[in-house]
Structure 1
Amino acid sequence: MTGRVRRFDEALAAANLKVEAALKALLPQAEGPESRLFDAMSYAVFAGGKRFRPFLVCESARLFDVREESALRAAAAVECVHTYSLIHDDLPCMDDDDLRRGQPTVHRKFDEATAVLAGDALLTLAFELLADTDTHERARVRVELVRRLAEAAGGRGMVGGQMIDLASEGVALDIGSITRLQRLKTGALIAFSCEAGAVLGRASEEAHHALHAYAHDMGLAYQIADDLLDAEGEAAVVGKATGKDAEAGKATFVSILGAERARAQAEMLSEQAIQHLDLFDEKADLLREAARFVINRRN
């Protein structure tokens, strides 16, 4: 392992610890008649994972010297939205998965109704966190964070992408359609994560644009890597069932391009993403490593 990769792994692990501590402080405590709901929320949030999106929030915030508490609250909000999406994606009416991060999915551990409610509660908690004055003293900044996250998570973002994904089973999509699907389903929340620091830091339009372009290319590289993991990975390593896209007849980057061309495309997108960070010199080195990480991960 090179020193550069080791530094990134250590930074990702350190950010994970800080985000987990923030989440433990911010999630509702399991008490009262609704405690089953809070147990399910915690079960999902603390089931593991790399906290990659929160890491992007923290690193983008660091570019603009945003105070750590603000960055961690925004990072926790992103993780709440991401976890909600996983809970709902795993439901029988969606992808019908039994495993997530190597353990039973929320609807298997609890029940379907509780899983739906846990996802709903995590989604709404995210906006509660962003709207609080502890996230930023300026109301305009908080409103902008809420607006951008709502757009990234809603019908013109992640939820819209999921709808397209469900409708695409057995449909022969072309590469442009798949790119749009994944830009919404996966890329929109990654884009918010990369730009949240610029919003918190009240950065220039040039900085916003650079981070948006970085997120666009890195997000697509991330999804191509996901498709490769589904096609080639082992469930025990990936932490969830693999080969499901092919079983469902879903068109993916791999099914259209083939594994070799898909891998080359992911590498090209990763390098393009890195080039968008020239504006930030060495302060963006960990974001550069993040773009390399997404195409080399094993789960």
Structure 2
Amino acid sequence: MPEPDFAVWRARLETALERALPAASEAPQRLHAAMRHAALDGGKRIRPLLAYATGTAFGAEAAALDAPAAAVELIHVYSLIHDDLPAMDDDALRRGKPTVHVAFDEATAILAGDALQSLAFELLAGSPFADDVRVALLRELAVASGTRGMCGGQALDIDATGGDALSLSGLERLHAMKTGTLLRASVRLGAIAAGANDSQRAQLDRYADALGLAFQIRDDLLDVEGDSATLGKTAGKDAAQAKATFPAQLGIDGSRARLQALADEMAAALTPFGERTAALAALARKVIERSH
């Protein structure tokens, strides 16, 4: 099966982000420059691609998906800015560029993350959907970003770093929250925007839950096996900081086997939808096979 051409969706996303972000020449210039430094021209854009792929598979127009796709990417970017701060992972490299607190300063980085988070919800609030759909989109992204999702997972990660070893189920719960919920939200935003029914959404959740775990296992493997130049971020940080990881729990071979099982789970979840979810299947392959 040929790979879908994701370049069109990436171009749509860049246009939507460029349109949404304040100009660097507009006051406060330093804050706006930091937001643009973090959000533009970088990253795999997996989350917005998931929103476009899901929404178009179930009948939504790409133009209607620009706001949900941009919103979920802005939340992701805000989380990366804060994750890189000295109080968190203290990293100097992200997406092949200096992290925001290095390129600007720590206070500006905190404000840039806060402002990107606010902008994400502003975009959804102004999106071209009926009121009930807008509320559903806002709720989905808010829950995925909060204590039941990304922020809660980050707190669990901090608690686990350098402490007592987590069980495998505890590690999976941590990453289901920290990484998985925003990936699942990306799929759900597309499904909500397209009006997918409950049965379809349940099947898409099955795919998205496996994708989220696969993404993190691959990330952990890359931290062990990759190099900073290819990754665009500092390699070897997990071991240096005694982080809880899948290779530490399962070993390299065990992690690869778990990754293959998740690939099979994603394929099975998409089978009922046939060719219309070919883009989601291709994104699953990208997550499994990525080198950065």
The aligned residue for residue 271 of structure 2 is 278
Q: 2:170 aligns with which of 167, 177, 181?
A: 177
TM normalised by structure 1 equals 0.95
Deviation at 1:137, TM superposition (A): 3.0
Displacement, 1:50?
Answer: 1.5
Q: Post-superposition shift, 1:47?
A: 4.3
Counterpart residue number, 1:37? 31
1:102, 1:208 → 2: CA distance?
Answer: 35
Could you tell me how far 1:12 is from its partner in structure 2?
Answer: 2.6
Tell me the alpha carbon deviations over residues 54-81 of structure 1, each in whole angstroms, 9 at most, x when there is no partner: 0000000001211222211110001100
CA distance in 1, matches of 2:47, 2:85: 22
Runs of 4+ in 1 over 3 A off after TM superposition: none
Query: In the alignment, is residue 74 of structure 1 matched against residue 68 of structure 2?
Result: yes
CA distance in 2, matches of 1:109, 1:278: 45
- Counterparts of 1:189-268 in structure 2, within 5 Å, are 189-268=182-261
Equivalent residues of 2:48, 2:70 under 8 A apart? yes
Work out whether residues 157 and 244 of structure 2, in 8 Å CA contact, stay in contact via their aligned partners in 1: no
Shift of 1:118: 0.4
Unaligned runs of 5+ in 1: none
Between 1:180-189 and 1:193-202, the stretch displaced more is 193-202
User: Distance between the aligned counterparts of 1:47 and 1:87, measured in 2?
Assistant: 15
Match of 1:147 in 2: 139
Distance 1:57 1:240 in 2: 25
**Counterpart Cα distance in 1 of 2:67 and 2:235:** 33
Are the aligned partners of 1:12 and 1:52 in contact in 2 as well (CA < 8 Å)? no
Residues 64 and 203, structure 1, Cα contact 8 Å, conserved in 2: yes
Asked whether the equivalents of residues 14 and 41 of structure 2 are also in contact (C-alpha less than 8 Å), the reply is no
Q: Which amino acid aligns with 1:274?
A: A
- Secondary structure (helix, strand or coil) at the match of 2:6 reads helix
Could you tell me how far 1:278 is from its partner in structure 2? 2.1
Alpha-carbon distance in structure 2 between the residues aligned to 1:225 and 1:19: 25
2:58 matched residue in structure 1: 64
**1:63 touches 1:284 (CA, 8 Å); kept in 2?**
yes
Gaps in structure 2 of 5+ consecutive residues: none
Give the Å deviation of 1:22.
Answer: 1.1
Letter in 2 for 1:148: E
How far is the alpha carbon of 1:142 from its aligned partner?
0.3
Q: Distance in 1 between matches of 2:243 and 2:129?
A: 45
SS at match of 1:65: coil
Most deviating of 281-290 and 178-187: 281-290
Paired residues, number: 291
Measured in 1, the distance between the counterparts of 2:291 and 2:151 equals: 26
CA–CA separation in structure 1 for the residues paired with 2:226 and 2:129:
45
Query: What RMSD over aligned residues (CA atoms) do the two structures have, in Å?
Result: 1.1
Q: What is the letter of the counterpart of residue 163 of structure 1?
A: A
Assess if the C-alpha contact under 8 Å between 2:140 and 2:188 holds in 1. Answer: no
Q: Is the 1:136–1:200 Cα contact (8 Å) retained in structure 2?
A: no
SS at match of 2:86: coil
C-alpha deviation, 1:253, in angstroms: 0.6
**Whole-Å Cα distance in 1 between the matches of residues 229 and 132 of structure 2?**
45
Amino acid aligned to 2:192? V
TM-score (norm 2): 0.97
- Out of 270-279 and 29-38, give the one that drifted further: 29-38
Q: What is the CA–CA distance in structure 1 between the aligned matches of 2:247 and 2:203, rounded to whole Å?
A: 28
Contact 1:16 1:50 in 2 (8 A): no
User: Alignment partner for residue 150 of structure 2, among 117, 142, 158?
Assistant: 158
